[in-house]
Chain A
Amino acid sequence: MKLPIICPSCEHALKVSSLICDHCNTEVNGNYEMPLYLKLTSEEQQLILQFFLASGSIKEIAKQAGTSYPTMRNYMDDLIEKINKMKNESSSNY
């Protein structure tokens, strides 16, 4: 099942309010910030995983995705910029 990361009502980032133990049904409630990785779209998460599994080779994941090297590098650069922006936003919130 896909983890929702954006509020369907106002489109702001969602937070974690409840965690449950599958074994004993203990439930923890709070207001937890979602880890940065989970704030990314599933396609972006998949790409980061692919990049890791390809030992950090842009050439290799470009081949897998059927795109050219500069197209994939640009996509990665844009993703890095997005993550840096999210990091800055979350650090300025504290």
Chain B
Amino acid sequence: MFNWRSVFNPFEKYSEKQLLTVGILFFIIGCAIGYFYNLTFDGAIDIHYLKGKQTLKNAFLENAIIIFIATSVLFILGKAFNRKTRLIDILNVALIYRIPIYLASLFILFPFLQKASEKIVNDLAENKLKIDSPEILLISLAGIILVVFIVFAIYLLVKGFKIATNIKKWQHTVVLIITLIIIEYLTLFTIHNFLN
């Protein structure tokens, strides 16, 4: 049965098989979004429009690289914190945390947001951009919503990692946050240097 706890902490309740199934399903959806809407997921928490055409191979590889790097780095850290940490739990964390990012990518595809964005770019080029224009307001609002999605993704990652490793000390959480920054740079570096 649906409850908000399953949304905010799915790792507490659902079995590894259920999480893996949902994670793989959203992985496929994420690849499809990237391919059909010319988006690039070029970092652990990044979504960007692509100037050229996104290929199916790259859409798949980008997401696969992110999940592979996140799983590998977090698994090593998890093992260092708690030797009972299982690979499947970390893999599920790496798959599930990306769901809000895929949803956020759908959000930025709304036509009225794209129109507003185009108008801002045009106004800026013609030097007639007003700071209180409805487009600026709309884009700012969309930016806030996007940040909420990204924060929720990080929240899911931290929550899932804490359950997978049973860490409780604040020092562990600090190390985890630093590791997330490392993962972000590692994924950005790998995708930009070996893929695009």
Are A68 and B16 in contact, CB atoms less than 8 angstroms apart? Answer: yes
Query: B13 contacts which of A67, A74, A77, A78 (Cβ < 8 Å)?
Result: A67
Instruction: Bin the interface of chain B by size.
Output: 10 to 19
User: How far in angstroms is the closest Cβ of chain A from B125?
Assistant: 53
Query: In the complex, which residues of chain A have a beta carbon less than 8 angstroms from the beta carbon of B86?
Result: 69-70
Contact status A77-B163, CB under 8 Å = no
- Answer whether residue A71 sits at the interface, using C-beta atoms and an 8 A cutoff: yes
Residue interface bits A54-86, CB-to-B below 8 A is 1, else 0:
000000001100111111011001100000000
Enumerate chain A residues within 8 angstroms of B14, measured Cβ to Cβ: 68
Given A74-B163, A77-B166, A68:B11 Cβ within 8 A = yes
A-B contact count (CB 8 A): 34
Whether the Cβ atoms of B13 and A70 lie closer than 8 Å is no
Q: Are B84 and A68 within 8 A (Cβ)?
A: no
Q: How far is the CA of A44 from the CA of B62 in the complex (A)?
A: 46
Q: How far is the CB of B66 from chain A (nearest CB, A)?
A: 22
42-60 of chain A: CB within 8 A of chain B:
none
Question: Do the beta carbons of A73 and B84 come within 8 Å of each other?
Answer: yes
Of residues 70 through 102 on chain B, the ones whose CB sits less than 8 Å from some CB of chain A are 84, 86, 89
Q: Which residues in B have their C-beta under 8 angstroms from that of A71?
A: 11-13, 163
Instruction: Please report the C-alpha to C-alpha distance between residue A67 and residue B13 in the assembled complex, in whole angstroms.
Output: 4
Q: How large is the interface on A (under 10, 10 to 19, 20 to 34, 35 or more residues)?
A: 10 to 19
CA distance A35 to B150 in the complex (A): 50
**CB of B65 within 8 A of chain A?**
no
Q: Verify A68–B13 contact, CB threshold 8 A.
A: yes
| Option from A63, A70, A78 in Cβ contact (under 8 Å) with B164 | A70
Shortest distance from the beta carbon of A69 to any chain B beta carbon, whole Å: 6
A70 contacts B15, CB within 8 Å?
no
Choose one: B11, B16, B84, B164; the contact of A77 (CB below 8 Å).
B84
Name the B residues within 8 Å of A68 (CB-CB).
Answer: 11-16, 19, 163
Query: In the complex, which residue of chain A has the Cβ closest to the Cβ of B11?
Result: A68
Q: Which residues B7-61 have CB closer than 8 A to chain A?
A: 11-16, 19
Report the minimum CB–CB distance from A3 to chain B (whole Å).
30
Bound Cα distance from A66 to B12, whole angstroms: 9
Question: Footprint of B on A, CB under 8 Å?
Answer: 62-63, 66-71, 73-74, 77-78
Hey, which bits of chain B sit against chain A, CB under 8 A?
11-16, 19, 84, 86, 89, 163-164, 166
